Structure 1
Amino acid sequence: MSIGRSIRLFLVDGSSNGLLTAEIMNWTGHVLTGPRSKLAEVVRRPECARTGIYFLIGPDPDNALLTRVYIGESDDVAERLKQHNRPETPDGRGGKDFWERVCLVTSKDMNLTKAHAKYLESKLIGIATAAGRCVVSNGTAHDYGALPESDRADMAYFLDQIRTVLPVLGFDFLHEARRAPSTLPVPPVADAQGFEMSVPRHGIQAFAKEVDGEFVVQQGSRARGSWIGGISGYQGLFEQLVASGILQADGADHCRFAEDHAFSSPSAAASVVCGRIANGRTSWLVQGSLQTYADWQDAQLKADGAPAE
């Protein structure tokens, strides 16, 4: 059973669009985030004079549907951020143009050393790359495995807290999607309901589970081979999944999911599977029944004593 945790958020200037700090009870870490437009205020903060890890976050210039992230470390984060704010040179050096927000992680007790920061940077680059939720600008991470065993244990805990607090701030690029089992169909389990949808006349059949608030379509699920609907944001998502190899051609008229993929909603998943706008609340059925996702969800609400509309 998961144990709850308290995260303290503080709006530095009282604005939801300004600087924000975050702390977890009994964690020495301290998180500061803000928009690039507030960079002058960020670099004046005392945290920026410490050793720390920072993230530069913004839309990917090559695909606006994707997020691009640069992960760095420094003994003087303020000076490093000033360098990143300069115009980017043709060789990619100097500043970085893409980022719109910055997130800085330091230690309140100032016991984070340069070696710790390099180790964390390396691990975070690897985690972000493996999660596949963003484009990582760093390239290959260096291996800083020479840290003493006790320090590595401390940094493992530090990493866990970073991965806990960043999604609360709206940064999910370190969150690895929990995957459904690799064998079709989805076996029923206690903590995740299985769903299926099919369009027999088009040879479409897909399986999914809802896990941690995400709708995960399972590897091997069959989808339409191309987008046939009108212009939609889901069309861009469909094309992005094809370009990334998550959706791979399976004959002339179909694609298959080469791996499990987490969607933000059942409708996003249904639209990609069908190649057109689709209502996931009615398209997905509880596996082995005719109960729609919407009816299943209403049943959960009634079971909890909440009135259903």
Structure 2
Amino acid sequence: MTLGKSIKLFLVDGSINGILTAEIINWTGHVLSAPRTKLLDLIQREECARTGIYFLVGQDPEDSLPSVYIGESDDVANRLKQHNRTEEAGGKDFWEKVCLVTGKDQNITKTHIKYLESRLIDIAKRSGQCLLKNGTAHLYNRLPESDTADMEYFLEQIQVVLPALGYTFLKEIKYPSEQPKVNSIIAPASVDTSNTEAEFYLSTRDINAKAKVIDGEFVVLKDSQVKETPSQSTHSYISKLRPTLIEQGIISVDSFRFTQNYIFSSPSAAAAVINGQETNGRKAWREINTHLPYAQWQQNQVERVIQE
């Protein structure tokens, strides 16, 4: 049985749009989040003088996914000052928010942080939920076995806290029994059938796709087909998200199939990308056993609980 977690949030400025801190009970990590407009206040905090991992996040109106840069430093405040410079001076212009993860004690070292950076870059790249600004991820697995286990636990907590703060680019689809590989940075995403609420299909004359609801996420499954030529290009899912997935290799340009499981924000987003046109996914997707549309299947689930 999956146990719940308590996340303690603190609004430093008394505003949800200011500096936030987040902690999980009995976790040694500490998270800071702030808009770029609060950078001056942020870099004066003691956490910014520690060894840590940080995320620079921006949202271009022309892109359907956020742009993200993942970095590490022994002195995050100094690194953020460098990133705040203009592009011409070696800085980065794209970011609007920053999230910093440090340890509450002195046990998180430079070696630990470099391992976390490598794993996080790989996860962000494989998830396909952002436009990663890092380029090539560096393989870093020089930790003893015990330290690797500790950092994998630390990583799991980061993946719990960040979505609660609105950073959703580290989503993964996992088996509950999935264990990190000690000697490898890359661990392929997989589907947890025990956590699956139902399986759905979307079938037309040209395509056949399958999806599952996993941990509340709508996941299109690997090998699902995609219509080769979109019949509509103005909708953002078709004009922006679909080309991005092809560019990232999540949809193969050769076979027009998904090369991995992929999390969509809604059934309609998935259906639009697959059909190549605006589609009501709540009607298009059907439950594999009853053949009911997604909307009707979901309604039946709610009514059944109410009756019980």
Q: Which amino acid aligns with 1:64?
A: D
C-alpha distance 151-198 of structure 1, shift in aligned 2 (>3 A): closer
**For residues 204 and 138 of structure 2, what CA distance do their matches in structure 1 show?**
47
**For residues 109 and 189 of structure 1, what CA distance do their matches in structure 2 show?**
37
* Superposed displacement of residue 302, structure 1: 1.2
**For residues 195 and 42 of structure 2, what CA distance do their matches in structure 1 show?**
46
Partner of 2:21: 21
1:99 and 2:98 matched? no
Partner of 2:222: 219
Listed one character per residue, the Cα deviations across residues 38-59 of structure 1 (whole Å, up to 9, x for unaligned) are 1011111121122211111113
Partner of 2:119: 123
Runs of 4+ in 1 over 4 A off after TM superposition: none
* Superposed displacement of residue 300, structure 1: 1.0
Listed one character per residue, the Cα deviations across residues 255-282 of structure 1 (whole Å, up to 9, x for unaligned) are 4333332211111111122221111111
**For residues 30 and 189 of structure 1, what CA distance do their matches in structure 2 show?**
32
Q: Percent identity?
A: 55
SS of residue matched to 1:65: coil
Q: Which amino acid aligns with 2:300?
A: A
Q: Please give the residue correspondences for 1:134-145 in structure 2 after superposition, counting only pairs within 5 Å.
A: 134-145=130-141
Match 1:151 to one of 147, 152, 158: 147
Q: How many residues align structurally?
A: 291
C-alpha distance 153-284 of structure 1, shift in aligned 2 (>3 A): closer
1:198 and 2:179 matched? no
C-alpha distance 189-286 of structure 1, shift in aligned 2 (>3 A): farther
**For residues 105 and 237 of structure 1, what CA distance do their matches in structure 2 show?**
29
Q: Which amino acid aligns with 1:5?
A: K
Partner of 2:156: 160
Provide the TM-score with structure 1 as the length reference. Answer: 0.84
Partner of 2:236: 233
Contact persistence 2:232–2:276 (CA under 8 A): yes
Partner of 2:283: 282
Partner of 1:65: 64
Q: Which amino acid aligns with 2:22?
A: A
Q: Which has the higher strand share?
A: 1
* Superposed displacement of residue 306, structure 1: 7.8
C-alpha distance 6-265 of structure 1, shift in aligned 2 (>3 A): same
Partner of 1:51: 51
**For residues 128 and 143 of structure 1, what CA distance do their matches in structure 2 show?**
14
Query: Tell me, which stretches of 5 or more residues in structure 1 are unaligned?
Result: 180-185
Q: Which amino acid aligns with 1:225?
A: E
* Superposed displacement of residue 190, structure 1: 7.0
Contact persistence 2:196–2:213 (CA under 8 A): no
